[in-house]
Amino acid sequence: MIQRRTALKTIAAGAATIVTTGPLTHGLSQTPSMPQLLKGNVRHSVCKWCYKHQSLEELAQAAQRIGLEAIDLVNVDDYPTLDKYGLKAAITWGVPGGITNGLNRVENHDAIIAYFEETLPLAAKGGSPNVICFSGNRDGMDDEQGLENCAIALKRIAPLAEKHGVTVIMELLNSKRNHPDYMCDHTSWGVELCDRVGSDRFKLLYDIYHMQIMEGDVIDTIREFHPYFAHYHTGGVPGRNEIDETQELNYPAIIQAIVDTGYKGYIAQEFIPAKQDALGSLEQAIRICDV
Output b/e per residue, 250-288; b: 16+ Cβ within 10 A: ebeebbebbbeeebebbbbbbbbbeeebbbbbbbbbbbb
Strand partners, 89: 71
Nearest to 169 by CA among 72, 50, 77: 72
Look up 171 and say whether it is catalytic: yes
The three-state secondary structure class of 205 is strand
State the DSSP code for 47.
B
- Distance between CA 284 and CA 280 in Å, rounded? 6
Phi, psi of 164 (to 5 degrees): -95, -5
Query: According to DSSP H, which parts of the chain are helical?
Result: 2-16, 56-66, 79-84, 109-126, 143-164, 187-197, 208-214, 218-225, 251-260, 278-289
The three-state secondary structure class of 99 is coil
Point out the catalytic residue in the list 69, 245, 270, 283: 270
Point out the catalytic residue in the list 171, 242, 248, 283: 171
Look up 162 and say whether it is catalytic: no
Output b/e per residue, 114-142; b: 16+ Cβ within 10 A: ebbeebbebbbebebbbbbbbbbbbeeee
124 contacts: CB under 8 Å, gap ≥ 6: 164, 165, 166
The three-state secondary structure class of 142 is coil
Q: How many CB atoms lie within 10 A of CB 16?
A: 9
Give residue 127's Cα distance to chain centre. Answer: 16
What is the set of active-site residues? 171, 270
